[in-house]
A and B are shown apart, each in its own frame.
Chain A
């Protein structure tokens, strides 16, 4: 028996928004520690890793580890039926081929439940090594979304360079060049509005804008976002999800093509 009850149902709706742009389907792995999901997009260029800890739920029960393959399009349709204030419960039997979503209004005067068929998915699980990143950049998530949107008008890829002066995002394309520089904030009233850079060595990497834009669909989950980079490894974009967990995106860089002269 699996049951997870979330008072703040809107969180799950936001998580869904953060996933469905990149993934058509994914396996939700449930254990007594919580819910985890790891999946790559079709092209295997980016990876989403979601972690929701058991303690973060209002009620959480998982008798036996289970992996629920879900069509995220269908799941998104179902979650659209929940209001933002609703309490959401996810339920499944141990060997079931369906999962049930229960939405309760805060006053308990309306209860709806939706049952969805599960699917069998080929599980490809990547082992992600613990990495000490050369740069970590924390910035307001809305600022990051804005930067990605603005620069993707210029080109398909964006260069992110981090030096001790600050972080620079730039893109070049047919119409010209765009550059955005952010300096480390000297003094801010609110922590989540700060730009904070921690750096061991300068890093500059190129990434495809369209994936970055998909990542920013998670903006509503968190006021700030953290980017971690090291030379020649995938970028990590992390959004914390209140007290319950996080969603992390990994994106493989674009590198110089030796064949093109």
Chain B
């Protein structure tokens, strides 16, 4: 009963007391003292000057022309959203070579943008970047806004993070910045154990970040925080021994009470909305990595699609062409090209899929007007992990031959789909298609060219015909669970 009452009380508190109340922050070691902040700025920037990685966009961010500076940071920051530095490097240099400034980008077509973006994921980013360039060139006289607030308001695809990054790095505006790396650094620095997937908590982190940022060199300070998070203050096994700011770090202090300076005895206060939750307290084993805390992710959705690889012979004898269609303007993988695919039942390897297959073939009849289907074979299963969907594709090879009255222009597509093309293998490699579809096509060529798999092609029908007891091949996911990543 007593317990219950205290819960009610803390709920009430959430509504009535603003957690940004600086009084709370000071009391519970969730903020730095002014003197510490000065020390932090100096140590961090010195560290960054010595340890920063050499990256192309960092050089361009120092260009004389403010528009080039803004543009180069805009491109790099948008590419870096959800994507690793190593991957971005090559895409970035290709991009800058092709479209060195906003004007050049505004003249590109969306198709060209998607082709270059192909493989980088989250394709709406490329589209928005292009829209932003068009907007600046056509509606803002080609001059990029220089304040974070305007950047966020006026440019498509630019959120608070990207706006702050451009403002501080390209235009030296004094704004703090919060991304995944900074969240980790600040939650450890200020022993914030609350769920960082909550907006209220992230708001506090933004506020702290704005307080901490160096007034003289905001861009380098922000990049230093991110770099520190990426290379030293890592999710698992952080390198506290080489951290320039461990002496003011509350989490470090807590795990090494004897060594570090700063406030003594950090304890979690039951009603505090920023401390570690009482039911999941500090553990000695995890040390610094007790922070940050995040509510458990919901499991990724499981989906299975049937993919029809429709193949037609061409006049040049040795290369076949394949049918691809273009996805709708909005939604997942917008505007990308793919092999016709249709949702099937949930992921399981060897279940009889014939009814779904028949339905898929029916739906694609409209595409194949005037062509006869010579054969349809199961090829392989391909698995791809999207960030929120565990997707399996069941590949079927559909060989078609044109009848006399075949007309290529008579085609009916599903709603919102934008068009279709026949491409050969080489053209597919250069087309704007997603990583998942590239995987699909690779699996297709491997399984069809390689002779070893002919038995598996027949697998489904064969077991039925011979009447032997059919057994279902299980997959390992029925037995072993994905261990948590990150």
Query: What residues of chain A lie closer than 8 Å to B239, measured between beta carbons?
Result: 64
Main secondary structure, interface of A, reads loop
Q: How far is the CB of A166 from chain B (nearest CB, A)?
A: 24
- Docked complex: A228-261 residues within 8 A CB-CB of B: 233-234, 250, 252-257, 259-260
Let me know if A256 and B483 touch, CB within 8 A: no
Let me know if B463 and A122 touch, CB within 8 A: no
CA distance A123 to B486 in the complex (A): 10
Q: How far is the CB of B92 from chain A (nearest CB, A)?
A: 14
Q: How far is the CB of A230 from chain B (nearest CB, A)?
A: 11
CA distance A123 to B475 in the complex (A): 18
A123/B485 contact (C-beta < 8 A), A43-B380, A256-B472 known:
yes
- Docked complex: A84-112 residues within 8 A CB-CB of B: 95, 97
In this assembly, does A130 line the interface, its C-beta being within 8 Å of a C-beta of chain B?
Answer: no
Let me know if A42 and B383 touch, CB within 8 A: yes
Let me know if B474 and A254 touch, CB within 8 A: yes
In this assembly, does B296 line the interface, its C-beta being within 8 Å of a C-beta of chain A?
Answer: no
Let me know if B482 and A126 touch, CB within 8 A: yes
Let me know if A44 and B483 touch, CB within 8 A: no
Query: What residues of chain A lie closer than 8 Å to B350, measured between beta carbons?
Result: 257
A252/B475 contact (C-beta < 8 A), A156-B455, A174-B466, A257-B470 known:
yes
CA distance A252 to B480 in the complex (A): 10
- Docked complex: B338-367 residues within 8 A CB-CB of A: 349-352
Query: What residues of chain B lie closer than 8 Å to A74, measured between beta carbons?
Result: none
Would you give the 0/1 interface string for A22-55, flagging 1 where the beta carbon is closer than 8 Å to chain B?
A: 0000000000000000001011111100000000
Residue of A nearest to B483 (CB): A127
In this assembly, does A204 line the interface, its C-beta being within 8 Å of a C-beta of chain B?
Answer: no
A-B contact pairs, 28 of them (CB 8 A): A40-B476, A42-B383, A43-B381, A43-B475, A44-B477, A46-B476, A64-B239, A95-B53, A120-B86, A122-B385, A125-B482, A125-B483, A126-B477, A127-B480, A127-B482, A127-B483, A129-B480, A174-B466, A234-B476, A234-B479, A250-B476, A252-B474, A252-B476, A254-B471, A255-B471, A255-B472, A256-B471, A257-B350
New A-B contacts (6) at CB < 8 Å, excluding given A42-B443, A260-B463: A43-B380, A47-B480, A97-B89, A126-B476, A210-B456, A254-B471
Which residues of B does A touch, CB under 8 Å? 53, 84, 86-87, 89, 236-237, 239, 349-352, 380-385, 443, 455-456, 459, 463-464, 466, 468-483, 485
Which residues of A does B touch, CB under 8 Å? 40, 42-47, 64-65, 95, 97, 120, 122-129, 156-157, 172, 174, 206, 208, 210, 233-234, 250, 252-257, 259-260
Please list the 8 inter-chain residue pairs (A to B) with the smallest Cβ-Cβ separation, ordered nearest first. A127-B483, A254-B471, A260-B470, A257-B472, A126-B480, A252-B474, A44-B475, A257-B470
